[in-house]
Amino acid sequence: MDNLYQTTILEHGQRPHNFGKPQTVSISREGFNHLCGDKISVYSSKDTSNLYLMFESVSCVICKASASLMTLTINKSSIDEGIYIINEVMDGIKNGNIDLDVFSDDMSCLNQIINYPSRINCALLPWKTAKDLIEDLKDD
C-alpha cells in the first residue's frame, strides 16, 4: 500500500487544488461511488471559452487527489480539449499507463492505481463526473 499513498497523492489529498464551490456556478454535476461511498461535486462557471473547474468532495484521499490533479490538468483547456484529456487519463488510469510525455510527472501517481483494483473507481470518479459536466457544457 505504500506505493499507492505516495507523496503526490498525499499532498493533493490533504491540500487539494481548486477545492471548494465557486461564487458563480453555471453548471454542476455530482458523482457517487457506490462501492466505497465517495461523493464529489464538480462545478463550472461558463464565463469564458476555457474550462475552469472546482470541486467539493467527501471522499478518500485517492479520489480527492485525483480531482485535484484533474482540475490542474483540465483548467484553461477548451471544452473539446477537456473531453480529450479526460478520455486519455481515464484510459491511462484503467491501464496504468498515463502518458507522461503528454501529462505532468505528478500524474504518474495515478499509474499506480492499477495495482489496487478496488481503488480504480475512486480515482476515476472525478474524471467521470467532470466528463458529464463538460459534455453538458458542450451541448449548450
Place of cell 478496488: 118
Fold of 7-139: Sufe protein. Chain: A (3.90.1010)
Question: What is the structure's pLDDT at 4?
Answer: 54
Q: What pLDDT, on the 0 to 100 scale, is given for residue 64?
A: 97
pLDDT tens for the 140 residues of the chain, in order: 455 558 899 999 999 999 999 988 889 999 999 999 999 999 997 666 789 999 999 999 999 999 999 999 999 999 999 999 999 999 999 999 999 888 988 998 999 899 999 999 999 999 999 999 999 888 76
Helices 120-139 and 79-95, axial angle in degrees (round to 10): 160
